[in-house]
Amino acid sequence: MAAPKFEVPELKGYTETPPLREGASADVKSFPANAQIQEALGFPGELVENWHEIAIGRMGGLLGKYRSLQVFMDACVHCGACTDKCHYYLGTSDPKNMPVARQDLMRQVYRRYFTFAGKYFPKLVGARDLTREVLDDWYSYYYQCSECRRCSVYCPYGIDTAEITMAGREILDSVGIGQKYTNEILGKVHRIGNNLGLPGPALLDTLVGLEEDIEEDTGVAVKLPIDVKGAEVLLITPSADFFSEPHVESLIGYAKVFHAAGISWTLSSHASEAGNFGMFIGSYEQMQKVALRIREAALELGVKRIVVGECGHAWRVAYSFWNTLIGVGVGASADDKYGRMLQQQLDPNYPQPAHICEVTYDLLQQGAITMDKEANDHRIITFHDSCNVARGSRMGDMPGGQFLIPREIIKSVANRFHDMAPETILEGTFCCGGGGGLLTDDLMELRVKGAQPRMDAFKDVVDNHGVNFMATICAICKAQFTKVLPYYGFDMSMVGGVHQLVSTAIRLDAKQ
Amino acid sequence: MSSLTIFFALLFYLATALLVGGLAYKIYIYSRIPAPLKIPTMPAPTTTTGVVMRMGREVVLFESLFKSNKWIWIFGWLFHFGLLLVLLRHLRYFTEPVWSWVVLIQPFGRYAAFAMIAGLLGLWARRFLVDRVRYISTPSDHLMLALLVGIGLSGAAMSFVVHTDIIGLKEFMLGLMVFDWQPLPADPILLTHLSLVALLMIIFPISKLLHAPGIFFSPTRNQADNSRDARHVAPWAAQLEK
């Protein structure tokens, strides 16, 4: 690892709120998208001449389409409850990374153009004209938010900065300012079917290679089927699972679970991506377009169940939005042809969609799969709740199942588990620092600093409880920690998936 | 009829019209705009009853704020519940005969003024003492607190220091409500109090005081977690399926 060009925060084992340092993070900007990337998504290739008019017009449009945005623009009282809740503020000390200040970048403009007080008394209410400088600030700071929603837990009105960040990014895209990382990836999904741009034949090769590895390892012919019509389960997983470490270990885990339980399953080369970066840029249309591939694959393959692999934002989109976007779920009304078409095909006896953890947990409960817990005895494990799973989704029948189920799985497959400090897990969990479209090398400084609160809590359990493995169920968390752990003096192999642990412990010969 | 009485009578009609009309308009807007996606902050209740309970805890106990910051919570709660008691106590100036429960809470309502003022001063102090809150405070944030403190102090002064002609005031208020104007006592503290209250009523629908109706429309708090069980499609989004 090359020496970083910035100061890596020193870990204390707990996180203190720093005094603010104005402009500390102002120069941290991710690479903007070029014209080709922008135009592929239907956005202008460069800043349009009448950007002011377009931006204000788009803001007005969004205010009329999203109640969240309208209410959140009006309701904030500047109480300060959120000011110490964002990991990017805690890590960078830049006051514009306080959730309320990030919101105010837009609220100031909202007040100026859409409220009586801001039109006639701008100074009094802190209203501001929309200038190029403001637009630049939006680009900097709306791409320093991982849309993790931690602030929304603590706001007395539930104001969710993620909604405002999404609106900010959508307005920026509409005037021709996009982010290279996110928008380039969206183009790849539309063209090829996954974020990595891995074409069908390469994917097939990879899966065959993995099957050989598993058989060599275990002596059991565990399959990784793809494009199998009539399979029971369609598995939609982040494409990072196909080749990144440690992601692939979890993919092997899912395959072993299906194998051991005797469930027929398949991947899809058409829909080889669970991730949906359309959410990151706040575009309903982009999000729907990405999700549509999954609907098409499910109809084409005739599957009865759709299961989602370990990916945080993907699970939020799947759990909370798929029914809305593409009809994966139940409850479509009689005259809703679009919704019913897929819902009639899917088996209503299972949650649709289901998280792979829900599948594994149910099989464990039924005794359909069994574990050799001692196989994980070399690991002392903690669990990092991924933000989108924790605050944007659920698992199981009960609120909070998203916290319980992964932990119960870990406790079923391993003997040694220790949670991190209570204020840093469950609904108060800290983002890994790389979510929401920020998992790019040009934002490494922000990623390292934003990870500080999580790293502090991790250090505490490492030092005091000998923890040597942080399990998580998110492709972005895994990629982020693999990169960031070494900056803080930890080994990159300390992070991995829950199904990596399952893979280690599962008995493949138990069920014939 | 003194010009003072006419001025304040008209002022209160105007303030009431702006408060009620402005809030009704804002509530109409909030209710009309769709929430196209399910975005409750999880874990969230799965039923409507659960949502009502969650909203009740937010509105009555300030649950999220309690999780967030105990200082803001205690000052905010002192202020809001002091204000609530004070407002309920004030019903006696608008009813004849006075409802018995309003009579019952009079002593609590009187002393609640101190809770209200203490809460406000605590919140105001944070705007100076905490660097993060200082950074986000605008002039209007300070003026709003000044206005509320002014209302509280002028009100408490009449209750505890120099009594005003409260019988005359009540006749004025009862008269206002049936468009039968009665003379308003020309007591400077009373007039200050009434002017500030009218100002508060006027700016309510165009200021951050919209957090009061806003919370009920906040999708992160008022949505049930049932996205897998019910298909939720906004009208504008349904067009995209065609």
pTM: 0.96
Sign of the torsion angle spanned by Cα atoms B170, B19, A103, B237:
positive
List the single residue in B42, B65, B236 with the smallest CB-CB distance to A156.
B65
Question: Do A118 and A44 form a contact (C-beta atoms < 8 A)?
Answer: no
How many domains would you assign to chain A?
A: 3
B-interface mutation test, from A17, A77, A108, most B Cβ less than 10 A away? A77
List the 83-112 stretch of B: residues with Cβ below 8 A of A.
none
A354 and A443 housed in the same domain: no
Question: What ipTM was assigned to the predicted interfaces of this complex?
Answer: 0.97
Chain A CA closest to residue B41:
A391
A354 and A377 housed in the same domain: no
Q: pLDDT by residue (tens digit) across A219-259?
A: 999 999 999 999 999 999 999 999 899 999 999 999 999 99
Q: Do B137 and A78 touch (CB under 8 A)?
A: yes
List the single residue in B44, B206, B225 with the smallest CB-CB distance to A116.
B206
Q: What pLDDT is stored for residue A1 in this prediction?
A: 53
Chain A residues in contact with B72 (beta carbon < 8 A): 79-81
User: DSSP 3-state assignment of A467?
Assistant: coil
Strands (DSSP E) contained in A6-58 are none
For residue A10, how many other CB atoms are within 10 A of its CB? 8
Shortest distance between the Cα of B129 and any Cα of chain A, in A, equals 12
A223 and A322 housed in the same domain: yes
Shortest distance between the Cα of A18 and any Cα of chain B, in A, equals 10
Q: What pLDDT is stored for residue B235 in this prediction?
A: 93
Which residues, including other chains, have CB under 8 Å from residue B238's CB and lie 6 or more apart? Answer: none
List the single residue in A116, A331, A393 with the smallest CB-CB distance to B230.
A331
User: DSSP 3-state assignment of A235?
Assistant: strand
A339 and A456 housed in the same domain: no
User: DSSP 3-state assignment of A496?
Assistant: strand
Mean pLDDT of A423-428: 97
Going by C-alpha positions, the residue among A246, A312, A315, A238 that lies closest to residue A271 is A238
Question: Do A314 and A436 form a contact (C-beta atoms < 8 A)?
Answer: no
Q: Do A75 and B208 touch (CB under 8 A)?
A: yes
- CATH code for the domain in which residue A106 is found: 1.10.1060
Nearest 5°: the CA angle A117, B20, B157 is 80
Chain B CA closest to residue A152:
B41
A336 and A217 housed in the same domain: yes
Mean pLDDT of A193-217: 94
Q: What pLDDT is stored for residue A426 in this prediction?
A: 98
**Residue A125, in any domain of the structure:** yes
Q: Do B132 and A84 touch (CB under 8 A)?
A: yes
Q: pLDDT by residue (tens digit) across A53-66?
A: 999 999 999 999 99
Question: Do A450 and A483 form a contact (C-beta atoms < 8 A)?
Answer: no
Nearest 5°: the CA angle A397, A470, A222 is 70
A211 and A344 housed in the same domain: yes
Q: What pLDDT is stored for residue A143 in this prediction?
A: 98
**Residue A284, in any domain of the structure:** yes
Spatial distance between the Cα atoms of A488 and A486, rounded to a whole number of angstroms: 5
Q: pLDDT by residue (tens digit) across A467-506?
A: 999 999 999 999 999 999 999 999 999 999 999 999 999 9
**A381: β partners:** A417, A469
List the single residue in A83, A159, A323 with the smallest CB-CB distance to B133.
A83
Q: What pLDDT is stored for residue B241 in this prediction?
A: 80
**Per-residue pLDDT tens digits of chain B, which is 242 residues long:** 799 999 999 999 999 999 999 999 999 999 999 999 999 999 999 999 999 999 999 999 999 999 999 999 999 999 999 999 999 999 999 999 999 999 999 999 999 999 999 999 999 999 999 999 999 999 999 999 999 999 999 999 999 999 999 999 999 999 999 999 999 999 999 999 999 999 999 999 999 999 999 999 999 999 999 999 999 999 999 988 87
Using pLDDT thresholds of 50, 70 and 90, give the confidence band for residue A4: low
Shortest distance between the Cα of A11 and any Cα of chain B, in A, equals 22
A71 and A217 housed in the same domain: no
- Asked if residue A174 has pLDDT above 90, the reply is yes
Q: pLDDT by residue (tens digit) across A321-361?
A: 999 999 999 999 999 999 999 999 999 999 999 999 999 99
Q: Which fold has domain B3-35+66-209?
A: Fumarate Reductase Cytochrome B subunit (1.20.950)
A232 and A349 housed in the same domain: yes
Q: Do B39 and A333 touch (CB under 8 A)?
A: no
Find where tokens 């004025």 sit: B172
Spatial distance between the Cα atoms of A348 and A364, rounded to a whole number of angstroms: 21
A487 and A376 housed in the same domain: yes
- Asked if residue A2 has pLDDT above 80, the reply is no
Q: What share of residues in chain B are helix, strand, coil (percent, to 5)?
A: 75, 0, 25
Among the candidates A307, A336, A358, a domain finishes at A358
Question: Do A15 and A457 form a contact (C-beta atoms < 8 A)?
Answer: yes
Question: Do A140 and A28 form a contact (C-beta atoms < 8 A)?
Answer: yes
Chain B residues in contact with A19 (beta carbon < 8 A): 131
Q: What pLDDT is stored for residue A512 in this prediction?
A: 42
- CA A268 to chain CA centroid, Å, is 21
A-interface mutation test, from B132, B240, B242, most A Cβ less than 10 A away? B132
Residue A281: C-alpha distances to residues A86, A162, A165, A204, A445 (Å): 19, 10, 8, 31, 21
Supply the range of the domain harboring residue A422.
371-505
CA torsion angle for A74, A79, A81, A86 (degrees, to 10)? 60
Q: What pLDDT is stored for residue A5 in this prediction?
A: 81
List the single residue in B38, B143, B208 with the smallest CB-CB distance to A324.
B38
Q: Do B237 and A327 touch (CB under 8 A)?
A: no
Polymer length of chain B: 242
Average pLDDT, chain B: 97
Chain A CA closest to residue B222:
A158
Q: Do A81 and B62 touch (CB under 8 A)?
A: no
Q: Do A20 and B131 touch (CB under 8 A)?
A: yes
Q: Do A333 and B36 touch (CB under 8 A)?
A: no
Which residues, including other chains, have CB under 8 Å from residue B8's CB and lie 6 or more apart? Answer: B172, B184, B191, B194, B198
Percent of chain A clearing pLDDT 90 (strictly above)? 97
Q: Do B138 and A125 touch (CB under 8 A)?
A: yes
List the 33-72 stretch of B: residues with Cβ below 8 A of A.
33-39, 41-46, 58, 62, 64-65, 67-69, 72
A343 and A312 housed in the same domain: yes
- Asked if residue A369 has pLDDT above 60, the reply is yes
Q: What pLDDT is stored for residue B86 in this prediction?
A: 98
Among the candidates A337, A358, A379, a domain finishes at A358
**Residue A15, in any domain of the structure:** no
- Asked if residue A265 has pLDDT above 90, the reply is yes
Query: Maximum distance among all alpha carbons in chain A?
Result: 76
List the 165-194 stretch of B: residues with Cβ below 8 A of A.
none
Please give, one letter per residue, the 3-state secondary structure of B26-71.
HHHHHHHCCCCCCCCCCCCCCCHHHHHHHHHHHHHHCHHHHHHCHH
- Asked if residue A511 has pLDDT above 60, the reply is no
Kind plus residue range of the DSSP H or E element containing B148:
helix B139-160
Shortest distance between the Cα of A390 and any Cα of chain B, in A, equals 7
Tell whether B230 is within 8 A of chain A (Cβ).
yes
Q: Do A153 and B64 touch (CB under 8 A)?
A: yes
- DSSP code at position B187: -
- CA B215 to chain CA centroid, Å, is 12
**A355: β partners:** A308
Number of helices (H), then strands (E), belonging to chain A: the values are 25, 7
Shortest distance between the Cα of B209 and any Cα of chain A, in A, equals 7
Spatial distance between the Cα atoms of B169 and B154, rounded to a whole number of angstroms: 15
Which residues, including other chains, have CB under 8 Å from residue B233's CB and lie 6 or more apart? Answer: A324, A336, A339, B36, B241
Among the candidates A309, A331, A358, a domain finishes at A358
For residue B84, how many other CB atoms are within 10 A of its CB? 14
Going by C-alpha positions, the residue among A207, A470, A392 that lies closest to residue B223 is A392
Chain B residues in contact with A115 (beta carbon < 8 A): 206
List the single residue in A67, A80, A353 with the smallest CB-CB distance to B133.
A80
Question: Do A383 and A413 form a contact (C-beta atoms < 8 A)?
Answer: no
List the 111-130 stretch of B: residues with Cβ below 8 A of A.
123, 126, 130
- CATH code for the domain in which residue A321 is found: 3.40.50
